[in-house]
Amino acid sequence: MKILRDIKHIYQKIRYGYSGRDLWSLDHTITDFVLPRLISFRNGGGNSYLDGPSGSPLLEGYTEEQHDEMYEEWLRILDKMILAFEYHKLYMNDVESFEAYKLEAERRDKVIEEGLALFAKYYRNLWD
């Protein structure tokens, strides 16, 4: 049975570009795709010659002094997005007691919610 299922998933991957296996935990599949690319984008891995993304959605219409401030803010926003995806990817195996687990899970959930909200807000600005 496992061999047949594996063959089915390989066929789906070749034919459609994804398989049913990718849909089992689609949120994690998306996280695995987005996270390394978001990190590379943040660090200037695109077309930029800078040590970060060459543009910012916040820069239009500001003075040169404000550009630097806005660019730094854009980097902080990207860092929050990255942390949200990193926390989503992590399992809570690093927490010892159940009480600590509950507190840390609540804290991480807030970080994830903020980062994903920023990702949604600035989704169309993730270009270099």
How many domains, the chain? 1
pLDDT in tens, 27-80: 889 999 999 999 999 988 766 656 677 667 766 667 777 878 888 889 999 999
In a domain, 6, yes or no: no
In a domain, 17, yes or no: no
What's the predicted TM-score (pTM) here? 0.79
In a domain, 116, yes or no: yes
CA angle 39, 110, 86 (to 5 degrees): 25
The domain in which residue 65 lies consists of 25-125
In a domain, 7, yes or no: no
In a domain, 103, yes or no: yes
48 compared with 113, residue with greater pLDDT = 113
In a domain, 14, yes or no: no
In a domain, 81, yes or no: yes
In a domain, 57, yes or no: yes
Task: Determine the residue type at 21.
Answer: R
